[in-house]
Amino acid sequence: MMTNRDDALNDIIALMKNHAITIDEITGALHDSAEVQAKKGSSILARLFGYIGGLFIVSGVAYFIGMQWDEMGTVARILATLGLGYCVFIMAITCTTRPSLEKAATPLFLLAALLQPTGILVTLNEFSRGGNPAHGMLFMCCVMAIQQGFTFWAKDRTVLAFTTIFFGAFFFAIAFDLMQVDANLIGVVMGLSLTCIGWSLGKSKHQSLAPICYLFGSMMFLCAMGDWLRNTPIEILFLGLACGTIFLSTVVRSGALLTVGTLATLAYVGYFMNKHFADSLAGPIGLVLLGVLLIGAGVLAVRINNKYIKQTG
């Protein structure tokens, strides 16, 4: 039988393979001196102040552009948004080619992913002659998803994986809405898709994005299914889906799935009690039982998290 210790060892081996980490590097990290730790702390502090300083700079530039926006012409508005965003994007790519500047690439990619969509929408607004705004959003998401996707393919950076998924998900959501697909069906498809993407990311070097995909994917799926099944003869199926989410969390070791599944289960129990026993003596008793159930579910969730997800050994 596999123990928690065995599972933890397998996880360590998988991480070493995914990130090309050697035994010597692990040994060196375990024997870091106090001086090395102090340097790491100073580096983190410097990076924090750098990010905060950059945020103030960006805020100041944005505030200035906002003040001058009404006086700007079409070309100036496009250059101040799309042009600036494209320049920042090129700067980010340049930073990835130089080890000394590589840490600056991630915030620059995020800033570019904010400025470029704004610039595309500004450009469309300047030259548009009416029409459905959703078409402009669809075009923007398509362009950004293609750009971020190809850049991720070339650079293989986690931040680019995030932006690709973000713009790709919005593209399909808007496309389905324009095709007048049922909102609950959109939620189910998008939720399952994000969950599958999270599963794939969890086995790659970009596993830090998996919890985000699991969180939003499971929420979208369960919310859509809950609305779909409500007041139908098979609405009890939602409870099975919520419990299935909890089981899935133990398989993929996801705290996000465990949290969403637990909350969905408790929400359904509360809804069921209110629907069937609100005006009877069973109502107060049900509330007491629900309180006990909440406490028990919290304890159970902690045990599941410690035993099957955290794998502390």
DSSP 95-128: HTT-GGGGGGHHHHHHHHHHHHHHHHHHHHHHH-
Which alpha helices (DSSP H) does 179-280 contain, by range?
183-201, 210-229, 237-252, 255-277
Closest residue by Cα to residue 127 from 178, 175, 78:
78
At residue 291, the pLDDT reads: 67
Contact 227, 182 (CB under 8 A): no
Contact 252, 214 (CB under 8 A): yes
pTM over 0.85: no
At residue 225, the pLDDT reads: 93
Q: Which residues of the chain have pLDDT under 50?
A: 1-2, 33-34, 36, 38, 41, 312-313
Burial class of residue 48 (count of CB atoms within 10 Å of its CB; 0-12, 13-18, 19+)? exposed
At residue 171, the pLDDT reads: 96
308 secondary structure, DSSP code: I
What tens digit of pLDDT does each residue of 76-111 get?
A: 889 888 998 999 999 999 989 888 778 888 888 998
At residue 313, the pLDDT reads: 40
Number of H helices, E strands in the chain: 13, 0
Contact 171, 186 (CB under 8 A): no
3-state secondary structure of 253: coil
204 secondary structure, DSSP code: S
Residues 308, 7: Cα–Cα separation, whole Å: 9
33 token code pair: 């001196």
Contact 124, 144 (CB under 8 A): no
At residue 99, the pLDDT reads: 81
Q: How many residues comprise the chain?
A: 313
At residue 2, the pLDDT reads: 47
Long-range contacts from 258-261, C-beta under 8 angstroms, 24+ separation: 258/301, 258/304, 258/305, 258/309, 259/215, 259/301, 260/214, 260/215, 260/218, 260/219, 260/222, 261/218, 261/222
